[in-house]
Amino acid sequence: MNATLAASSHHVHRAQRRLAPWFFNGAMLIICFLVLIPVLGTVITSLKDQTEVQRNPPVLFPCDTPDGQFSLSACRWSVEGYTRILEPRPSAGTLFGFEYVGRMISVYLPNTLIYAVSGSVLVTMLAGMSGYVFSRYRFRGRRALMLAILAITGIPLLTNLIALYRMGVGLRQTFPGYEERLFVIVVYVGFFLPFSIWVVKSFFDTIPRELEEASFIDGCTPVSSLIRIVAPLAAPGLTSAFLLSFVGIWNEFIAGYLLVGKATLRTAMFGLYDFIGQFVIGYQVLAAGCIMVALPVVLMFLFFRKIFFRAMVEGALKG
């Protein structure tokens, strides 16, 4: 009796072990699908035309025949949402024979690209310099300074925004040559720098000092050792600081919305927010806008995902 029980429980265990991977893989596939529903739904919506997005009750796939049957040949996919954002106009001198006059593609996205590239290059440089100092030098006030920078990490831009807004107004009145773009970039740098310093410092901490000491013996000055020996080794850390700030600035909304006054300097996130009022029932246009704005950073993430993962875990846990 006992023996059979033991045998059967043993049997159950073996069966469980064989079934477990299938069970958990199945669970993960379902979770992945659930997580992706909003994204897939948006992609589908962006490929419908105006009459399809305004059907009541709504239909997921625009593929039904008049008698209510699903048929692939009846599909009415459309890129209307995208063309209404891009607004292509025939133009002789350009690459594809079209120029795109939609504000998203001609104004907002280029602006966001400028802010994100220049902002994150600056963040990376400054974080590299100060992260190196915090990792290598011991001086009075070092701990206090690091704690202060860590404390700043958590203060949201929103808290400072009222003051920054008033400062922007003041700067505009005092300096005739005031460059709004520059102000916004510096604000972004100030906002994303503290976190990057922590990420970069933790990477510098993993580089052995002996390498530098050896380079001193070989006749390097601290500056040349920093450039020739340390910087290449710290490249993964610097890359992750760059990528995280790039995504952060690209996705930032409220500062760009409040601090940028000129219509020609507005960001993509502002453009998207503005669309909500503009295309009140053009849901396919809104969906297409979401995809166009999100696609660059999604591709960037898929390409560099390992760097992202490592940097985020390090940054959160070390800080």
Partner 1 sequence: MAQSAEAASISRFSRTSHRHIKQGFFSRTLPFWLLLPTLLVLIAIQFIPGVFSFFLSTQSFERGQQTFVGLRNFERVFTSSAFGESLWHTLFFLIGYVTLTLIAGFVIAQILNRKLRLSAFYITVIFIPWVLSDVVVGLIFRLFVVPDYGLFSALFANPNIFPPKGISILTTPPSTPILPDVPFPPAPALIYLIFASAWKALPFITLLILAALQTVPREVIESAAIDGADGWRTVRFITFPLILPTLVVALFNLTLSGVNGVGMVFSLTGGGPGTATEVLSYLLYTIGFGRLDFGRAAALSVFMAIINLTLILLALRISRSEREA
Buried b (16+ CB within 10 A) or exposed e, 239-271: ebbbbbbbbbbbebeebbebbbeeeebbbbbbb
**Two tokens at 77?**
């996919």
- Minimum separation from the CB atom of position 99 to partner 1 (A): 26
Cα–Cα distance measured from residue 199 to residue 308, given in angstroms and rounded to the nearest whole number:
11
Nearer to partner 1, 63 or 126 (CB): 126
Q: Is 285 within 8 Å of 81 (Cβ atoms)?
A: yes
- Minimum separation from the CB atom of position 86 to partner 1 (A): 18
Nearer to partner 1, 38 or 176 (CB): 38
Q: Is 76 within 8 Å of 49 (Cβ atoms)?
A: yes
- Minimum separation from the CB atom of position 237 to partner 1 (A): 16
In a 13 Å sphere around the CA of 90, the CA atoms on its Cβ side amount to 0
Nearer to partner 1, 62 or 102 (CB): 62
Strand, helix or coil for residue 225: helix
**Two tokens at 167?**
């400062």
- The set of residues, in sequence order, having a beta carbon less than 8 Å from that of 99 and lying 6+ positions away, is 88, 89, 91
Q: Is 100 within 8 Å of 87 (Cβ atoms)?
A: yes
- Minimum separation from the CB atom of position 83 to partner 1 (A): 19
Listed residue (269, 305, 265) closest to 290, CA to CA: 269
Q: Is 285 within 8 Å of 279 (Cβ atoms)?
A: yes
Nearer to partner 1, 30 or 97 (CB): 30
Strand, helix or coil for residue 88: strand
Nearer to partner 1, 74 or 155 (CB): 155
Q: Which residue has the tokens 């990490």?
A: 153
Nearer to partner 1, 15 or 91 (CB): 15
Pairing of strands 98-100, 88-90: antiparallel
- Minimum separation from the CB atom of position 198 to partner 1 (A): 12
Running DSSP on this structure, what letter comes out for residue 166?
A: H
Nearer to partner 1, 104 or 272 (CB): 272
Nearer to partner 1, 98 or 309 (CB): 309
